[in-house]
Amino acid sequence: MEWKTGDEVFAIDPKMVVHIDFETTKQTIVVDRAEGSRNRFEMTVTTRATGKQEHCKANALMRDLLPSLSSIRVQRTFAPTDAEALWARQGPSSALLRIRDRLDAEPKAFQILLTDGSGSSTDASIVFREQSHLFVPSVRADLIKQLRAGCANATSVQRP
């Protein structure tokens, strides 16, 4: 099945999201909804090279991010040759985003490229890959960049 502009490729009730993880080559970011909570989230950022962990509240980030992730639509697709070229050039630096809700044991996964906006025909600032589909999503790139920043702009949480 080919996707076209405007197609909804993923939908979820934001109140049901319990877990998001975001893996890059440098770190793993895990955001969990506090059990029984509607809007309290904690983030754990683990640096791959050192194993160092940071813990912080992610309430404000999730308040902005969840509506964006609740309905992911195709903003633009890529011609197969453009998709292959973009993936060959930037695929090794892709991140992995997983979203899990209360009902599904398996999370929904997307590979993500945060591109440099080089002015080429594939100059989007964010690109999602789901199976063989490469597309510019309706998800705001600045929100994914905030997620990638981890605890840098969040409230620290002390853990024993």
Residue 10: pLDDT over 80: yes
Give mean pLDDT, residues 73-89.
88
C-alpha to C-alpha distance for 51 and 38, rounded to whole angstroms:
30
Give mean pLDDT, residues 78-103.
88
What sign results for the dihedral spanned by CA atoms 22, 25, 28, 29? negative
Tokens matching residue 49: 């090279």
C-alpha to C-alpha distance for 129 and 12, rounded to whole angstroms:
18
**pLDDT band at residue 116 using 50, 70 and 90 as cut-offs:** low
pLDDT in tens, 23-60: 999 999 999 998 877 789 999 999 999 999 999 999 99
> pLDDT averaged over the chain?
86
Q: What is the pLDDT of residue 122?
A: 44
Q: What is the pLDDT of residue 119?
A: 45
pTM for the predicted model, two decimal places? 0.85
Give mean pLDDT, residues 103-112.
88
Query: Looking at this protein, which amino acid is placed at residue 21?
Result: D
Give the three-class secondary structure for 89.
helix
Q: Could you tell me which residue, 114 or 148, shows the higher pLDDT?
A: 148
Whether the CB-CB separation of 130 and 9 falls below 8 Å is answered with yes
C-alpha to C-alpha distance for 138 and 141, rounded to whole angstroms:
9
